[in-house]
Chain A
Amino acid sequence: MTIDTRNVPDTPTREPAPGGARPAPRALTRAQLRSALPGALRKLDPRVLYTSPVMFVVEVGAVVTTVLAIVEPGVFAWWIAVWLWATVLFATLAESVAESRGKAQASTLRATQKQTTARKVDAPQDTLTSGTRLDRLPTVEVPSSTLQVGDVVVVAAGETVPGDGDVIEGVASIDESAVTGESAPVIRESGGDRSAVTGGTVVLSDQVVVRITAPAGATFVDRMIALVEGSERQKTPNEIALNILLTSLTVVFLLAVATLQPFAIYSGARQDLLVLVALLVCLIPTTIGALLSAIGIAGMDRLVQRNVLAMSGRAVEAAGDVDVLLLDKTGTITYGNRRATEVLPVTEVTPRELAESARLASLADETPEGRSIVELVDGTYGTAEELPLDAALVPFTAQTRMSGVDLPLTRSSEAGGAGNTEMHRIRKGAGSAIRRWAQSTGTYLSEAETAELDAHIDAVSRMGGTPLVVGEQLGEHPARILGVVRLKDVVKEGMRERFDALRAMSIRSVMVTGDNAVTAQAIAAEAGVDDVLAEATPEDKLALIKREQEGGKLVAMAGDGTNDAPALAQSDVGVAMNTGTSAAKEAGNMVDLDSDPTKLIEIVEIGKQLLITRGALTTFSVANDVAKYFAILPAMFMTVFPQLEVLNIMRLASPGSAILSAVIFNALIILALIPLSLRGVRYRPASASSLLQRNLLVYGLGGLVAPFIGIKLIDLVVSLIPGL
């Protein structure tokens, strides 16, 4: 999350916590390690550590070797003991560093939770319905912490919203920077999909009446704090399964090492317990065991840095598995506003005539579509005519489905009195609406005219545009239809590349739109979407998700409205927009604070990266064992079986230095891989085959080779230790 402290200079408490990981670091800093150290030491408590069986075994080993070193002090014993403790410490350090970023963010968020006073409407809850001027009712001042679900509060400019809720009356601009880090104020209004307000945000202008939807202590910010801090962190299903595998590997090696002593005794080469513990620690998968929880925390954290809050780690994992992505067309694939790109006049009408009429009808139209018509005509014909002052605007209504303007016709002043001024009426709107209007004025469209108009409308739809039909009426004459303005949905730049990337990840994208099938198909083709759900109702969306899931697929979607809530809840990864309603936010398992639906793509990438990092480090960890055997086994048995010297292919200096070098390598590799586990391995969208090939090469083969080099280098240094 990018909670930018510069935007809120008046709250010194929002300084990042000491050592907090801001700005997101690429590598470990010394300060970071230092500040994570106390937490790391606390995590050494066996009651905490036992949840990671691998590291618990290492800790037991460290205790045993320490006792042995005390009973029979020696240089070798102490070195081994110290490095085993270092191994455990590096593991807890990794987790502690991963958590430290979240802690810093949590402390910033806590600052928004200061106790405020709420102006509660003093009336029984069930009498409070919106639309009855609730702000005129008497209010009482209560502490925000006592607010209950269903309470209604009035929040005026300059006041802090006392709790999560929905605006049920009024409209206000709100500063949400404390939560989202976005400094530009946002508009929140009753009704519709922009009604949710978050506790701790500040009303900048106007006044709203808010119905509280979350009890104090369970608000959005409370949940955010818990999430980023990791206090409610639970192991995810895949993490649990991986832990089972790691535990079984640990048990296998425990058996292998425990039974080695009888074999050694039989062979006349009884081993020191110290050496056996060292061998065990080197063999069990400590690298992944140490970094597993850090990988999970860092994965959540990477989402938070992109301003996405995952309500569960399970959702992040599921994101990696997503097969189908549902994206709304408007605002996601296309810019929310359509642009006029062309005029298509009917016969007998010149393009200029149509263009200027359309322009007049749009001059006072403040919608983006209206402005785009003016821009188009001005750009093409260089007109600059202003609307006369006595022009009357006809606003768009849902009933007429058209808008326009009434201009008084210029005529000799002696001709008429007030009241029966001839009007020049221009209307623009959907084809059916304008046609109905024209017919009401007594216009009869010939078959040819109808066919021509239909051809234009069809052509525009087919190309993914929206046809806007323009008509005019002079005085009380029958109206005539001038032609069609092509309003084009403008696909956002870079969408095609993003969908190509999704396809490379084998994710099918489905565009959801209320447009008709023809228009929808055209836009889908332009944007490069795989599939389209046209004329979609919320029920259609839900049905589509269920259908895909029945086929075993995992579905991700973004949504904001209350009517999206069922679909959000049904989907495997449901990303609610922060601007949306509380119902949507409740239903989804992630919230995007930037309210950017295309972020789904990044979420999927982060999910995949998380899983890949786990797999890569597991592979690396297991592959490491081969080299460790080559280091330790000859060292253990060379005295009895000198021929085993052949296996000492690294030419390590002495048995002592060989074993110690393997132990040190084992510890240092954890430290070296902490940045990778926090950052995640590089992920580029590609087919499973090429991903597997690349990662096997890097982490499998790399894991096989790296320790040979590492142990040899460490041995060169270690062999200089006197008395080893």
Chain B
Amino acid sequence: MTAVSTPVLAAVAQALVLVALLAAVHAPLGAYMARVYSSPRHLRAERLWYRVVRVDPDAEQRWTTYLMSLLGFSLVSVLVLYGMLRLQQHLPWNLGFTGFDPAGAWNTAVSFTTNTNWQWYSGEAAAGHLVQMAGLAVQNFVSASVGMAAAIALVRGFARSGTDARIGNFWSDLTRGVTRILLPLSLVAAVLLMAGGVIQNLDPHTALTTVEGATQQSLGGPVASQEAIKELGTNGGGFFNANSGHPLENPTPFTNLVEIFLLLLVPFTLPRTFGILVGDKRQGWAVLGVTAGLFTASLALTTWAEMAGPGAAPQAAGAAMEGKETRFGLAGSALFAVATTATSTGAVNASHDSLTAPGGGLVLFNMLLGEVAPGGVGAGLYGMLVLAVVAVFIAGLMVGRTPEYLGKKIGRREMTLVALYVLTTPALVLVGTAAAVVARPGLAGLQESGPHGLSEVLYAYASAANNNGSAFGGLTSGTPFYEVTQGIAMLAGRFVPIALVLALAGCLARQAVVPATSGTLPTHRPLFAGLLATVAIIVVGLTFIPVLSLGPVVESLS
């Protein structure tokens, strides 16, 4: 083994391990999740909860009721979290931290409710244990479950036939996502992480021994349990400001791999659940193929960019190690960066600001694609299904039939909803970024001028509107301007698409299924998968080419 090829081999090896792990759990977990969302039985704990919140978990809801329940629940979530953050000094276990200011509390409340988990503050310097556990961690579970519920509702829309737009019960979907999927999995994950050295205690302080042998005090806390759901629910809000770069959150290459595995687990498995629920596993394979293809391409390019280390600074230093942890290395950092941006998680183990210019551009592009490859839990699946509808509409005509996907005709109503969906996030990203780079309070937050500064702002709004939550760094976002505008971007970027998706689900559920013949556009073949990937890149990508060309592209070419 030569010195040159060692890192490359290591990069390939860790990717292969990841693929093997994901492949091993794909079918069983996918089938399990399909059962979770279609079983008529309730657990005893679930029944108790339904009685407490006074809902009938067996009542099938029309899409409008489903949406109202979802929005109502999320509104209450925002308000409760806002209250907790504002009143932190009056709450027990606050570790002496005071309440958040209004803009900051709004931003954080919205951020965690929308599964974005953008943090303008430093976790260890602002949030006490109660806020962390009863506020933020609870949202880590339920906001993830809300995303999965919306995706399952859309899948039901495809799977059902000729109903009066009934697409399931939100309360049941929400509850089961937490009790049967996220809680058990994160329990296992937390144990694994603790075994890997992640701390789990309720101490205000943890003593550390540094490399030099000195003792250092750090904040202690329930880190492993937080960490598990942070990755599993594609949340990303770290206990510590350094997030997964912090030695107590992510001490070793082993925990690094576990965390990456966790954040890819549900997004890469949901296509299987989708395939089972629509009664054609091949459809699930096609969606999985597209997401895996896009993900692999992005990973390969980013890893190459980081390892090749183009640009003046990396060349001078010998490697693009600025902002990266030596214990993860280039490949471990690149893999984490791609995984976290492609899944709308937003956890980071390196500073994305310090990625090479093309690497930074690529992780930015992962988000701009609309978080579909594979995207956040649930959100990625419904995003990809919406893109599939667009692809079917454009290409489906070319087989000489009016477009249909999974036996459902894509008519005027469906197209309107899909078109609005496709419009929403780019509008939020572009308008937000444009406002920030011309407004004085926006410009004030920039650390850098020129193309890199533009990348910082673009990254911030791409992250917010796509509910990713990772930050490029460099941007001072803890100002009212960013807190408020990003809050709007997060809120609209989460709930406008969900509303459109649920409306689409209702529309589809009403339709009778058109039986497939050999004249029907086959949507499970590689040809269609390739087409879907192209539509994702061209239709979504084309929107952002101008702004990208002034940011990362210019940077990469200099």
Contact = CB atoms under 8 A, between A and B. Distances in A.
Contact of A696 (B451, B453, B531): B531
Interface residues of B, number: 66
Contact of A626 (B437, B438, B538): B538
Contacts of B543: 252-253, 255-256
A24 interface: no
A708 to B, nearest CB: 15
A263 B394 contact: no
A415 B390 CA distance: 95
Interface string A609-623: 101101110110011
B515 A552 contact: yes
Interface string A290-312: 00000000000000000000000
Given A237-B412, A688-B399, A625 B438 contact: no
Contacts of A683: 400
A724 interface: no
B481 to A, nearest CB: 15
Contacts of B520: 506, 688
A194 to B, nearest CB: 35
A506 B519 contact: yes
Contact of B517 (A506, A623, A625, A647): A506
Interface string A666-694: 00000000000000000100011101110
A552 B434 contact: no
B519 A614 contact: no
A647 to B, nearest CB: 7
Given A263-B434, A263-B454, A644 B557 contact: yes
Interface string A236-271: 011011101101110111011111111111110100
A345 interface: no
Given A241-B411, A688-B521, A619 B542 contact: no
Given A241-B393, A633-B549, A687 B519 contact: yes
Interface stretch (A77-85, A315-323, A364-372, A484-492): A315-323
Contacts of B403: 238, 241
Interface string B122-154: 000000000000000000000000000000000
Contacts of A255: 423, 426-427, 430-431, 543
A643 interface: yes
A227 B465 CA distance: 48
B554 A643 contact: yes
A248 B557 contact: no
Interface in B510-530: 512-515, 517-522, 525, 527-528
A613 B313 CA distance: 52
A416 interface: no
Of the listed residues A240, A615, A616, the one surrounded by the most CB atoms of chain B closer than 10 A to its CB is: A615
A262 B394 contact: no
Contacts, number: 207
Interface in B402-416: 402-403, 407, 410-412, 414-416
Interface in A126-168: none
Contacts of A552: 407, 512-515
Given A609-B400, A693-B527, A323 B517 contact: yes
B430 A644 contact: no
A242 B411 CA distance: 9
B430 A256 contact: yes
Contacts of A76: none
Contacts of A689: 522, 525, 527
A279 B400 CA distance: 32
Given A263-B437, A625-B538, A692 B515 contact: no
Between A241, A244, A260, the greatest number of chain B beta carbons within 10 A of the residue's beta carbon is seen for A241
A283 interface: yes
A256 B426 contact: yes
Contacts of A551: 515
Nearest to B396: A615
B187 to A, nearest CB: 43
A626 B522 CA distance: 27
Nearest to A260: B546
A262 B426 contact: no
A637 interface: yes
Contacts of B25: none
A267 B454 contact: yes
B59 to A, nearest CB: 28
A261 to B, nearest CB: 8
A612 B549 contact: no
Given A240-B412, A245-B415, A691-B398, A263 B521 contact: no
Interface string B498-515: 000000000000001111
Contacts of B522: 688-689
A654 B222 CA distance: 62
A553 interface: yes
B103 interface: no
A528 to B, nearest CB: 17
Given A262-B438, A283-B542, A244 B549 contact: no
Nearest to B438: A262
A257 B454 contact: no
Nearest to A645: B557
A615 B398 contact: yes
A321 B400 CA distance: 8
Contact of B395 (A615, A626, A643): A615
B242 interface: no
Contacts of B32: none
B547 interface: yes
A683 B401 CA distance: 12
Given A240-B412, A241-B410, A507-B519, A259 B431 contact: yes
A260 B547 contact: yes
Contact of A265 (B397, B438, B450): B438
Given A241-B412, A622-B539, A688-B522, A695 B398 contact: yes
B217 interface: no
A608 B394 contact: no
Contact of B402 (A247, A251, A259, A321): A321
Interface in A476-511: 505-507
A244 B521 contact: no
A248 B410 contact: no
Contact of A553 (B398, B437, B450, B515): B515
Contacts of A266: 437-438, 453-454
A391 B431 CA distance: 98
B489 to A, nearest CB: 14
Given A255-B430, A619-B394, A647-B549, A611 B401 contact: yes
A56 interface: no
Nearest to B547: A263
Given A241-B412, A267-B454, A619-B398, A692 B521 contact: yes
A633 B545 contact: yes
B407 to A, nearest CB: 7
B139 to A, nearest CB: 31
Given A615-B394, A637-B550, 12 more contacts: A245-B419, A252-B543, A256-B430, A262-B437, A320-B401, A553-B514, A607-B400, A615-B397, A619-B395, A622-B539, A688-B519, A689-B522
13 contacts: A256-B543, A259-B430, A263-B434, A265-B437, A266-B454, A323-B515, A611-B400, A615-B398, A616-B397, A622-B394, A626-B542, A633-B546, A643-B554
7 A-B pairs with the lowest CB-CB distances in the bound complex, closest first: A615-B397, A506-B519, A608-B400, A248-B419, A615-B398, A262-B434, A643-B557
Interface of A: 237-238, 240-242, 244-245, 247-249, 251-253, 255-267, 269, 279, 283, 317, 320-321, 323, 505-507, 551-553, 607-609, 611-612, 614-616, 618-619, 622-623, 625-626, 629, 633, 637, 641, 643-644, 646-647, 683, 687-689, 691-693, 695-696, 699-700
